[in-house]
Amino acid sequence: MTREELREKILTVLIEDFEFENPGLDDNLRDDHGFDSIDAIELLGKIEIMLGFSLSRQEKEKAMGIRTINDILDYIEQIQSSHQS
């Protein structure tokens, strides 16, 4: 998936499933949208479905540094490239 395709899918998930209103790519998910650790776990599950494979424990731990939608996109691109090698 291209970054643009990923962006559209992530924004759709955040708006439809997490009820974000007008999310900005650099908004702080926690501070600006009330995103918590339970939401993060749910989002990781949705990312696994989107990618079509399960994330390793190490890959999930790397997600702990995510703060913005751009961070999510960078994270997914990194995961995709490591699985294509």
9-63 residue pLDDT tens: 999 999 999 999 999 999 999 999 999 999 999 999 999 999 999 999 999 999 9
| 67 φ/ψ angles, rounded to the nearest 5 degrees | -125, -25
Could you tell me the residue ranges of all domains in the chain?
3-84
Q: Do the beta carbons of residue 66 and residue 40 sit within 8 Å? A: yes
- Supply the pTM of this predicted model: 0.92
Please give the pLDDT value at position 84.
81
Lowest-pLDDT choice from 3-7, 19-23, 80-84 = 80-84
- Report the percent of the chain where pLDDT is more than 90: 93
The domain covering 3-84 belongs, at the CATH homologous superfamily level, to ACP-like (1.10.1200.10)
Q: pLDDT band for position 85 (50/70/90)?
A: low
SS (H, E, C) the chain: CCHHHHHHHHHHHHHHCCCCCCCCCCCCHHHHHCCCHHHHHHHHHHHHHHHCCCCCHHHHHHHHHCCCHHHHHHHHHHHHHHHHC
Q: Which amino acid makes up residue 76?
A: I
52-80 exposure pattern, b = at least 16 Cβ within 10 A, e = fewer: eeebeeebeeebeebebbebbbebbeebe
